[in-house]
Amino acid sequence: MTSHTRPDHEFEFIDRVTSLMKATRPDQTLVSFGDDGAVYRPTPGKAQVLTVDMLVEGVHFTRQTMSPVQIGHKALAVNLSDLAAMGAVPAYFLISIGVAEDWTEKALQDIYVGMSRLAAAHRIDLIGGDTVTSPKQLVISITAVGEADTQNLPLRSRARPGHIVFVTGKLGLAAAGLHLLLQENVSQQEKERFAPLLKAHQEPDPHVQQGQLIVHLAQDEPVALNDVSDGLAGEANEIAQASGGDLVLEKKKLPTSRLLLDYAQLQGVDPYDWILTGGEDFVLTGTIAPELFARLNQAFRHQGFPLYEIGRVVSGSGQVWLDDGGKIEPLKAMGYNHFKKRGGSP
């Protein structure tokens, strides 16, 4: 077997890819790969937070839009982002991978290289997985474990009237990046000019430290958090529905980048299509009391993290409104629906 062909033996393949990963929690890990289950000792007093997310070739990425290193990075990043939105400290992950015929050993190893870089940065250790064959597309499902304090989980239901609505980063960049990646005949010069948009889609940065900072600062006060995986409109609606309050977002306060506005203009696209409904930005959105927001702002500035106020929570019936210079209209959730029927197929 060479690295340009598909791996021909599952167990040797598992040995090779797991050796690419670094263990950062030896004291907590009792049994890692190689047995029927992994075993770890939870930190006393902490609760375990579990999350799972799956990426499917042809649905979430293609080999034209993402390199294998980027696929590995993103598969782990989406799970870290869920842990971030729970204010959790990442600890462990497991990976299930369905390998299609046309994936080479080198490409598969690169997926682990992409994961291992991000894993090391967040001290999250791979401790198990499952390897199977898949008839056509590559499938990667990651289950991640984090640890959190139980007394103040940043649940979607914890938005309260009077709270400020915030986001921890700029919006719409990943969707604009994907739009660019799907264009034909893009010049090298354009790719370089809009590189930050491409990076937002291909190598999202999960806001793990930000999530922890928010719950740490909130102490016993209610705070709601959600990661922006399906677009701000969708995430804001989830918080509104879960809490029963109304969120009023101010259109002019929604943060984005100059580059996104330039690219939207070039393409004749309304930038708010991306800012409001473009998914996969993986910043956090949430709500918190105004006094705490002021302190959070300071703490974020101190760490060099951006933080933007984008609206308010008012008492209502679980809806989201967009205030466009005094004109207030409902903002419906318009995230990607995996069960929606698409053109032609049954």
Among the residue ranges 8-16, 40-48, 128-136, 239-247, the one whose residues contact Mg ion (CB under 5 A): 128-136
For 202, list phi and psi in degrees, rounded to 5: -85, -30
Choosing among ligand ADP, Mg ion, none, which partner's interface includes residue 20 (Cβ < 5 to 8 Å by kind)? none
Residue closest to 200 by CA, chosen among 257, 96, 95, 280: 280
Residues 233 and 333: beta-carbon distance below 8 Å = yes
209 binds, among Mg ion, ligand ADP, none (CB under 5 to 8 A by kind): none
Select from ligand ADP, Mg ion, none the partner in contact with residue 33, using the beta carbon and a kind-dependent cut-off of 5 to 8 Å.
ligand ADP
Of the candidate residues 10, 12, 15, 130, the single one contacting Mg ion (CB under 5 A):
130
Q: What does 8 interact with, of Mg ion, ligand ADP, none (CB < 5 to 8 A by kind)? A: none
CB of 37 to Mg ion, least distance (A): 10
Joined together, the tokens standing for residue 29 give 């890990």
CB closer to ligand ADP, 128 vs 231? 128
Whether residue 231 contacts residue 334, with contact meaning beta carbons closer than 8 Å, is answered with: yes
Q: Are 318 and 205 in contact (CB under 8 A)?
A: no
C-beta closer to ligand ADP: residue 31 or 294:
31
DSSP notation for 146-188:
EEE-STT---GGG--TTPEEEESS-SSHHHHHHHHHTSSS--H
User: Which partner, ligand ADP, Mg ion, none, binds residue 14 by CB below 5 to 8 Å per kind?
Assistant: ligand ADP
Cα separation of 110 and 243, whole Å?
42
Task: Indicate left, alpha or beta for 75 from its phi (over 0: left) and psi (-120 to 50: alpha).
Answer: alpha
Q: How far is CA 245 from CA 5, 235, 253, 325, in A?
A: 55, 14, 20, 22
Stretch binding Mg ion (CB under 5 A), from 42-50, 122-130, 181-189, 317-325: 122-130
User: Smallest distance, Å, CB 130 to Mg ion?
Assistant: 4
User: CB-hemisphere CA count at 13 Å for 29?
Assistant: 20
Distance CA(282)–CA(301), nearest Å, equals 20
**Contact present, 245 and 316 (Cβ < 8 Å):** yes
CA distances from 260 to 140, 211, 263, 311, 331 (A): 30, 25, 5, 22, 21
CB nearer to Mg ion: pick between 95 and 224: 95
Q: Which is nearer to ligand ADP, 126 or 228 (CB)?
A: 126
Residue closer to ligand ADP, measured from CB, 138 or 159: 138
For residue 280, the one-letter residue type is E
Q: Which does 42 bind (CB under 5 to 8 A by kind): ligand ADP, Mg ion, none?
A: none
CB of 128 to ligand ADP, least distance (A): 3
When asked if residue 324 is in the footprint of Mg ion (CB under 5 A), the reply is no
Q: Nearest distance from residue 165's CB to ligand ADP, in Å?
A: 39
**Comparison of 143 and 257: residue with beta carbon closer to ligand ADP:** 143
CB of 5 to ligand ADP, least distance (A): 18
Nearer to ligand ADP by Cβ, of 13 and 282: the residue is: 13
Question: Are 48 and 139 within 8 A, CB to CB?
Answer: no
**Amino acid at site 123:** R
| Contact residues for ligand ADP, defined by CB under 6 A | 14, 17-18, 33-36, 95, 97, 126, 128-131
| Contact of residue 217 among Mg ion, ligand ADP, none (CB under 5-8 Å per partner type) | none
Q: Which is nearer to ligand ADP, 101 or 270 (CB)?
A: 101
In the complex, the residues that contact Mg ion under the rule CB under 5 A are 130
